[in-house]
Amino acid sequence: FAGTFISCEQEFYKDEQYRKEIFIVSGENNIFSQEFTFDENAQGLLSIYVGGTTPIDKDVTVTLEYNMDLLSKYNRLMHDNDYDNYALMLPEDRYSVNSMSITLKAGNKEPYVLFPIHVDVNGLIPEEEYILPLSIASVSDYMVASEKKDVLLKIFMKNEYATTKSRIYYNMIGTMQKKVDNNGTLENIENESPMNSTKLVTPISQYGIRVLPGTVQSDPGASQQSLRLRSVIATVSQDEWIDVPVISAEGEITGEYIKCQKVVVTPWFNTNQAVRVKNMDDKPSYYNPEKGEFTLRYNYRIPSIDGQSNNMDVWHEVKETMT
């Protein structure tokens, strides 16, 4: 009797304990978040999984489709009537898929297959929420898991310095001095004052970050237009390096130098209402890759903030180090 029982038990575990179901791996609310670099050929991967205690015994073709209804339901759930913050469908020219069908191979030790999606995040606005909604349209065999047949691929941008998946802050120390433009020459009108704060850093290109200049703070209620007009871009050169003198703890030049990458600071948008920037050619900005540290030196003026004072063109000279 014992021998018969053990034999039956072994046969039982050889068979399926629960039905095979095919689904897309995702998290809560069927969201799958993925970061993409600014490489035009950046690739994301979705996992198409088959549940079950034994491998499938035949190839299964899984076909996906785009599903805008998923995005509509997500926006109603997450944002209700706050239409300004609705997530956007990833623009068609920002992604590509070689084929909407993929095959789960019979006998494969791994119970999943990876579905590739090429995404180009260049030109996307960091504050916007971009989603690519997908569903399993059909399978050639077995069943589709009704609760996990959909996925909302949420797109995030990243480079070496920051990511949009989380809010990245750098510690900033430095100085600022008010100046006035006198026929093309910036002249001091106030003494230099110290700065010390944290700054939100956002990736904007493969080698560029977006920050607010000097001590300008981000207003939580400000519009995207306001943020665009106030922001500057610090772009790290990949070809131009400069020798930066090493300063001792006592503030003396040691005679040693370290190689740093030159940085150019520019407005995010070039309009009459946007921030204006002047780099210091004699004291260039730079990035220290060993420390992960930006040293920025520039002059800026925001027309909407500074205005015209006694017909003077008021600027701010900034020397800041962000770590």
**Mean pLDDT along residues 134-154:** 95
Find the mean pLDDT for residues 52-71. 92
Per-residue DSSP letter, 102: E
- Using pLDDT thresholds of 50, 70 and 90, give the confidence band for residue 11: low
Q: What is the mean pLDDT of the chain?
A: 88
Classify 32 in phi/psi space as left (phi over 0), alpha (psi -120 to 50) or beta: beta
What was the pLDDT predicted at 270?
84
User: Does position 14 have pLDDT exceeding 90, yes or no?
Assistant: no
Report the share of the chain in percent with pLDDT over 70: 90
Q: How much is the average pLDDT of 196-210? A: 95
Flag whether pLDDT at 235 surpasses 90.
yes
Residue 18 pLDDT level (bands cut at 50, 70, 90):
low
Round to the nearest angstrom and report the end-to-end CA distance of the chain. 73
3-state secondary structure of 323: coil
CA 67 to chain centre: 24
Q: Which of 130, 147, 121 is nearest to 27 (CA)?
A: 147
**Structure confidence at residue 182 (pLDDT):** 78
In order of 48, 116, 287, the CA distances from 156 in angstroms are 21, 16, 24
DSSP 225-239: HHHHHH-EEEEEEEE
Residue 192: its pLDDT value, please? 83
pLDDT score for 219: 62
Using the predicted structure, report yes or no on whether residue 284 has a pLDDT greater than 90.
yes
> pLDDT above 90 covers what percent of the chain?
67
Q: What is the pLDDT of residues 97-129, one digit of tens each?
A: 999 999 999 988 889 999 999 999 999 999 899
The pairing of beta strand 253-267 with beta strand 285-288 = antiparallel
Asked if 36 contacts 118 with a C-beta cutoff of 8 angstroms, the reply is no
Query: Cα–Cα distance between 9 and 171 in angstroms, integer?
Result: 63
pLDDT digits (tens, 9 = 90+) for 146-188: 999 999 999 999 999 999 999 999 999 999 999 888 777 787 7
**What are the tokens at 309?**
């004072």
Which of 322, 133, 137, 147 is closest to 232 using CA atoms?
322
pLDDT band at 281 (very low <50, low <70, confident <90, very high): confident
Helices vs. strands in the chain: H and E counts, helices first: 4, 21
Tell me, what's the pLDDT at 117?
97
Whether the Cβ atoms of residue 186 and residue 199 lie closer than 8 Å to each other: no
The pLDDT value recorded for residue 16 is 45
pLDDT at 15: 47
What is the reported pLDDT for 311?
45
Residues 235-249: what's their mean pLDDT? 91
Check residue 12 and give its pLDDT: 46
* Residue 310, pLDDT above cutoff 60: no
Q: How far apart are CA 275 and CA 285, in angstroms?
A: 18
